[in-house]
Amino acid sequence: MKAYSISENGAQPEVCDLPDPVPVKGEALVRIRACGLNFADLLMIKGKYQETPQAPFILGLEMAGVVEELGPDTDGPAPGTRVAVYSGQGGLAELGCFPASRLVEIPDRMSFEDAAAFQIAYGTSHVALDHRAQMRPGETLLVLGAAGGVGLTAVEIGKLMGATVIACARGADKLQAAKTAGADHLIDAKTQDIRQEVKALGGADVVYDPVGGEQWQAAFRACNPEARLIPIGFASGEVPQIPANHLLVKNLTVLGLYWGGYLKFRPDVLTDSMKTLLGWYDQGRLKPHVSHVLPLERAAEGLELLRSRASTGKVVITP
């Protein structure tokens, strides 16, 4: 099979030929039809992600495809079933063996591209806003990086949950994507003062931040009393330092979120969230935004789109 693999620690990934995998007990063999790219893939290449596998390994955290075979004595979706999988690796290949317990059957109306773009981005935003921040209808949600893979889903889910959504992104094209996703107010991070603009709109009750750096600092200073701030990631490359005295004065709460971490200690949070999200999708209430669909041979180009922030929504690779 073809795969986009890292052969040894420190090496750059490349498309190569590998033996077809064979499922063992507890696994399912999936014919991969689409794989969503994530910022974590870039961190894995550098060996800086919190769960970077030991080389050799195949990149690709989330994918969708068709079950081809179950391992011996394994219960799971029957061969021919359309599924999505979050595995943390192995998605950028034609075939993959994954724990059968992680396979999620996808609705008939859901394309493989949508399914591959769905789990991490929508799951992260829903768990962040619903489970962690417990956001209430009528509150004001500020989304930084609002045109990115997770940012757009936070805008979309925030509106579904009844929030007034302020979207912050860089440039008119990206702001238009956020507006299409349902944002009520738009802030151009290139030209406008985030703190000043948010305060003029009444301040933020919840901050959703996959960016970090200066944008975090501006958002932090535009929070209302009892606001909740959710650091999702640090696409700016700068992990902000949080002044505890300011938390005290405004009664603020910072809520860390690593979506994949729930698999280890509370998988029911992810299961319940995904059930809700797939239901919303089936009702036509969610529409994944995929800006680029590329073949496996162009996986490096897809990752560069993420690195340079040239994409909106998700980039999907089709092995």
The predicted structure's pLDDT at residue 235: 85
Cα separation, 121 vs 107, in Å, equals 18
For 189, which DSSP code? T
Q: Which domains does the chain show, CATH number per domain?
A: 2-118+288-318 (3.90.180.10), 121-260 (3.90.180.10)
Q: How many CB atoms lie within 10 A of CB 282?
A: 14
Going through the chain in order, the beta strands assigned E by DSSP cover: 2-6, 14-17, 27-36, 57-58, 62-70, 82-86, 95-99, 103-105, 140-143, 164-169, 185-188, 204-209, 223-231, 253-254, 290-295, 314-318
pLDDT, one tens digit per residue, over 75-96 is 999 999 999 999 999 999 999 9
The predicted structure's pLDDT at residue 48: 87
The predicted structure's pLDDT at residue 313: 85
pLDDT of residue 139 exceeding 90, the answer is yes
The predicted structure's pLDDT at residue 195: 97
The predicted structure's pLDDT at residue 212: 94
pLDDT of residue 137 exceeding 90, the answer is yes
> What are 117's two structure tokens?
């773009």
pLDDT of residue 197 exceeding 90, the answer is yes
Nearest to 299 by CA among 108, 102, 41: 41
The runs of H, that is alpha helices, within the chain are: 39-46, 112-116, 119-126, 151-160, 172-180, 194-200, 213-220, 244-250, 262-265, 267-282, 299-307
pTM of the model: 0.87
The runs of H, that is alpha helices, within 99-258 are: 112-116, 119-126, 151-160, 172-180, 194-200, 213-220, 244-250
Cα separation, 261 vs 267, in Å, equals 9
Reported as a pLDDT band with limits 50, 70 and 90, residue 263 is confident
Quote the mean pLDDT of the chain.
95
Under 8 Å between Cβ of 62 and 317: no
pLDDT of residue 305 exceeding 90, the answer is yes
pLDDT, one tens digit per residue, over 2-60 is 999 999 888 999 999 999 999 999 999 999 999 999 989 999 999 988 888 889 999 99
pLDDT, one tens digit per residue, over 94-119 is 999 999 999 999 999 999 999 999 99
Per-residue DSSP letters for 273-285? HHHHHHHHHHTT-
pLDDT, one tens digit per residue, over 146-183 is 998 899 999 999 999 999 999 999 999 999 999 999 99
Residue with tokens 């971490």: 261
Cα separation, 305 vs 108, in Å, equals 30
Q: What are phi and psi of 4, to 5 degrees?
A: -100, 100
The runs of H, that is alpha helices, within 32-79 are: 39-46
Under 8 Å between Cβ of 260 and 62: no
Cis peptide preceding 79, ω within 30 of 0: no
The predicted structure's pLDDT at residue 49: 87
Per cent of the chain over pLDDT 70 is 100
Residue with tokens 């002044």: 243
Mark 191-230 as b/e (b = at least 16 C-beta within 10 Å).
eeebbebbbebebbbbbbbbbbbebbbbbbebbbeebbbb
Reported as a pLDDT band with limits 50, 70 and 90, residue 236 is confident
